[in-house]
Amino acid sequence: MTRLPFLGLAALILASSASADPRETSPNDKSCDNPSLPTMTVRVTGLKTGAGKVRVQAYGSSGFLGKGAWIRRVDVPLNGRRSVDVCVPLPKAGQYAFVVRHDANANRKSDWNDGGGFSRNPKLSLMGKPSFGQTAVAVPNGPA
């Protein structure tokens, strides 16, 4: 009988550590303080409300906008702000596209009240998604 609680605790620890994706980072990531590491500060403006969270995801050219194909992701609670600067640390210098989603009610789902956008602010239509080339920006070895 003493083994069951231990096994349950071990399973809980393994499940919680397995769910943490190393590509996700905190809005307070210390990489953003290092001027020799590639980072991009994404300025998000024009939010309809200061409720919920903003998610910024960085994509490389392969798998652009594919499910789970993002390279880095940062979630930032808005706490009443209708604009926010989000620092995204990146693995290396290169071309990246940044996708922003405003999860207005912070339910981690896309709803009608949510909004979004792309780096380089491409013209959007109901006919399709922008291409990587329309949204990509160069990130140097240092902050951008």
pLDDT in tens, 102-120: 999 989 888 888 899 999 9
- As given in the structure block, the two tokens for residue 75 are 């979630």
Nearest one of 76, 75, 95, 86 to 140, comparing CA atoms:
95
d(CA 15, CA 81): 34
pLDDT in tens, 38-78: 999 999 999 999 999 999 999 999 999 999 999 999 999 99
Which residue is it, tokens 């349950």?
Answer: 8
Report the predicted TM-score, pTM, of the whole model to 2 decimal places. 0.83
> Region 120-141: what's the mean pLDDT?
92
Nearest one of 23, 43, 27 to 137, comparing CA atoms:
43
- Does 21 have pLDDT greater than 90? no
- Does 12 have pLDDT greater than 50? no
